[in-house]
């Protein structure tokens, strides 16, 4: 029987570590290689803090994680004091913290030649003797390629994608492949990459060519030795063998909702297999039902939204936030001066065809109660999550946690609370999120372009009985695209709810202010998807091992 091996993984453009988490969590079958993140590189300071703390968690078997880790998550111990407390308790614990600090590197790829040389040195140290059998993972920043990003930049007459440094960051990824030759690499990017054009050439075609022969891409080699070339294959089934020579660009799109992710998220994922591993086939991901929004987040503690301000003429007035004020504000948005008479927009519903929504809104407002946990916080004590009805409960759960992290609501304008209330009741009744044209006239936003038709999904509620829409970094903004389906909470999603939809385990803590937490979650690769990719890569390396490709020199 083959001996199980641990394969070093280097995670670049790591963000909060979604890809690395999936690879680290993979539990191999007998004989299959498992993975250990040897180095993760991220330039954002808060995401790096998240990576470092998670790296510390992974220095232990789950049952052996020190209680101090959980005290940080429960807000009983400030994170910045953790190293000193570990040192006081045990030199071994402090050594493991130092290992985490060494693994999580705060650095920017492509910042300078000296930075590149320093990073290359760290990669050589990380892979050690496994020079021929290690895995590179990462997703170069992709905003310049995203369809939304390109549409946004069309309004800038001086913008050219070829001048946007983000459009060439994949070459930093390519440079590492050319210099260090991983056995396998995994590259994730947005679907917009398939249609992007730079200098009148399709970006995707150029990237595939570069990745197949990394040295040639830099003009450094003319021969095509197998040890210096890669086969680029998709990780999902195309209906034919994954050993074939050519693929359609769309073959590389992974529809996450088809693989057990509770979210409609379509991304391009490229798997590079070094040709000297031989003609080993990559097992495609297996189809798996996507859990629904309600299955995944419905068991989290109920919270209320906060209050920010209201508009009075051309000015905004700051609102006082509190539980009673919240009740009064929602009543004031639905009823006239706290009476039993409907406000204008609600009366419109009652007089029209949407009497079911009208009745539902009345039922919600009449029975409205302030949640026990109010607006939540960076930690909310709870013994009820995740629910056994959650198909991914085994993946999220950590009984030692005793609550929920990163579960705090944001504040909203009073008029937006009415829109959220309507949207959630509409979705509960019709099973879809309302378009802007479905809103009563009095609930239409007072924007010059509101009637243009370009912003029909400006207010998007997540439908309880479906997978969510794509979680993006835009969740760090106003929250309008990510409205909670429970009308009694009248708010946008919290960081933890978004993290659940992205399949981060509950004991995965996101550092920094809430805005940064949202960006980290939105930009990440779903860890449960990465876990499935890790299984395919592990199987491939096992096959390659039988072909004597395990040499370390």
Share of the chain above pLDDT 70, in %: 88
* pLDDT value of residue 225: 66
| 485, 347: one domain | yes
Q: What pLDDT score was predicted for residue 141?
A: 76
Q: How many domains does the chain contain in total?
A: 2
Asked whether residue 360 falls in the same domain as residue 490, the answer is yes
133 and 255, same domain (yes or no): yes
pLDDT at 168: 65
Residues 509 and 450 in one domain: yes
Average pLDDT over the chain reads 88
531 found inside a domain: yes
The residue-averaged pLDDT of 131-147 equals 76
CATH number at residue 105: 3.40.50.150
171 & 137 share domain:
yes
pLDDT band, very low/low/confident/very high, at 233 (cuts 50, 70, 90): very high
Question: Is position 552 within any domain?
Answer: no
Contact 58, 24 (CB under 8 A): yes
| Enclosing domain of residue 21 | 6-292+526-545
Cα distance between residue 219 and residue 224, in whole Å: 12
Is the domain of 443 the same as that of 368? yes
Answer yes or no: do 180 and 99 share one domain: yes
**Band of the pLDDT at 170, cuts 50, 70, 90?**
confident
How many of the other CB atoms lie within 10 Å of CB of 80?
A: 9
pLDDT digits (tens, 9 = 90+) for 399-445: 999 999 999 999 999 999 999 999 999 999 999 999 998 999 889 88
Instruction: Clarify whether residues 228 and 333 are in a common domain.
Output: no
Longest dimension (CA), the chain: 82
- CA 326 to CA 348: how far, in whole Å? 24
Same domain, 397 and 380: yes
End-to-end CA distance of the chain: 23
Whether 550 is in a domain gets the answer no
Burial of 538 (0-12, 13-18, 19+ CB in 10 A): buried
> Would you give the distance in Å from CA 258 to the centre of its chain?
17
> How high is the pLDDT of residue 204?
87
In a domain, 109, yes or no: yes
Residue 127 lies in a domain: yes
pTM: 0.92
Of the candidates 273, 238, 265, 231, the one whose C-alpha atom is nearest the C-alpha of residue 252 is 238
pLDDT per position as a tens digit, 61-94: 989 999 999 999 999 999 999 999 999 999 999 9
Q: What's the average model confidence in pLDDT over 491-516?
A: 98
> What CA–CA distance (Å, rounded) separates 551 from 307?
61
Ramachandran area for residue 156 (φ above 0: left; ψ -120 to 50: alpha; else beta): beta
Residue 224 lies in a domain: yes
Residues 309 and 432 in one domain: yes
Q: Do 211 and 318 fall into the same domain? A: no
Residues 410, 327, single domain; the answer is yes
Report residue 189: phi and psi, to 5°. Answer: -155, 175
Tokens standing for 439?
Answer: 């809103």
pLDDT at 491 (0 to 100): 97
**CA 433 to CA 427: how far, in whole Å?**
5
Q: Return d(Cα 461, Cα 435) in angstroms, integer.
A: 10
Per residue in 519-552, pLDDT (tens digit) is: 999 999 999 999 999 999 999 999 887 444 444 4
Lowest mean pLDDT among 161-170, 177-186, 283-292, 504-513: 161-170
Answer yes or no: is pLDDT of 152 > 70: no
pLDDT band at 165 (very low <50, low <70, confident <90, very high): very low
The whole-number pLDDT of residue 162 equals 46
The tokens for 268 are: 């391009």
* pLDDT (mean) for 17-33: 89
Burial 142-174 (b: 16+ CB within 10 A, else e): bbbbbeebbeeeeeeeeeebeebeebbbbbbbb
Q: Is residue 551 part of a domain?
A: no
Q: Would residue 333 count as lying in a domain?
A: yes
């Amino acid at each position: 029987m083959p001996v199980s091996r641990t394969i070093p993984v280097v995670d670049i453009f790591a963000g909060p570590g979604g890809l690395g988490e999936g690879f680290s969590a993979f539990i191999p079958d007998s004989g299959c290689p498992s993975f250990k993140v040897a180095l993760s590189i991220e330039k954002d300071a808060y995401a790096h803090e998240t990576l470092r703390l998670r790296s510390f968690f992974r220095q232990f078997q789950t049952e052996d994680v020190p209680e101090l880790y959980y005290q940080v998550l429960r807000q009983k111990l400030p994170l910045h004091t953790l190293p000193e407390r570990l040192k006081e308790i045990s030199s071994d614990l402090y050594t493991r913290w130092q290992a985490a600090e060494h693994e999580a590197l705060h650095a920017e790829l492509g910042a300078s030649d000296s930075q590149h040389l320093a990073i290359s040195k760290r990669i050589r140290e990380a892979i050690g003797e496994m020079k021929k059998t290690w895995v590179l993972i990462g997703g170069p920043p992709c905003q310049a390629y995203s369809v939304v990003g390109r549409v946004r930049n069309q309004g800038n007459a001086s913008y050219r994608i070829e001048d946007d440094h983000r459009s060439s960051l994949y070459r930093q990824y390519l440079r590492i492949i050319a210099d260090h030759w991983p056995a396998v690499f995994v590259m994730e990017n947005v679907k917009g990459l398939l249609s992007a054009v730079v200098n009148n050439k399709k970006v995707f075609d150029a990237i595939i060519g570069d990745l197949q022969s990394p040295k040639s891409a830099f003009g450094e080699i003319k021969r095509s030795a197998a040890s210096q070339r890669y086969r680029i294959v998709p990780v999902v089934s195309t209906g034919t063998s994954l050993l074939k020579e050519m693929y359609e660009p769309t073959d590389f799109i992974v529809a996450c909702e088809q693989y057990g992710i509770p979210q409609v998220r379509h991304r391009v994922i490229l798997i590079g297999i070094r040709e000297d591993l031989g003609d080993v086939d990559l097992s495609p991901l297996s189809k798996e039902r996507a859990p629904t929004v309600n299955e995944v987040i419905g068991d989290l503690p109920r919270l209320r939204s906060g209050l920010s301000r209201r508009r009075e003429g051309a000015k905004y007035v700051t609102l006082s936030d509190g539980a009673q004020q919240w009740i009064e504000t929602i009543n004031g948005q639905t009823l006239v001066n706290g009476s039993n008479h409907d406000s204008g927009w609600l009366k419109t519903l009652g007089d029209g065809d949407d009497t079911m929504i009208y009745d539902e809104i009345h039922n919600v407002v009449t029975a409205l109660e302030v949640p026990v946990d109010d607006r939540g916080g960076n930690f909310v004590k709870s013994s009820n999550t995740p629910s056994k009805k959650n198909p991914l409960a085994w993946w999220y759960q950590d009984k030692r946690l005793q609550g929920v992290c990163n579960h705090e609501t944001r504040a909203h304008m009073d008029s937006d609370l009415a829109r959220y209330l309507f949207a959630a009741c509409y979705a509960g009744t019709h099973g879809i999120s309302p378009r802007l044209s479905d809103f009563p006239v009095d609930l239409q936003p007072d924007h010059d372009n509101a009637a243009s038709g370009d912003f029909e999904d400006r207010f998007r509620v997540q439908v309880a009985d479906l997978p969510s829409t794509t979680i993006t970094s835009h969740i760090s903004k106003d929250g309008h695209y990510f409205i909670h389906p429970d009308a009694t909470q009248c708010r946008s999603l919290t960081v933890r709810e978004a993290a659940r939809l992205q399949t981060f385990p509950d004991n995965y803590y996101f550092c920094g202010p809430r805005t940064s937490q949202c960006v980290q979650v939105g930009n990440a690769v779903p860890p449960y998807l990465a876990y499935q990719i890790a299984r395919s890569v592990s199987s491939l390396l096992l096959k390659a091992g039988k072909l004597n490709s395990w040499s370390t020199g």
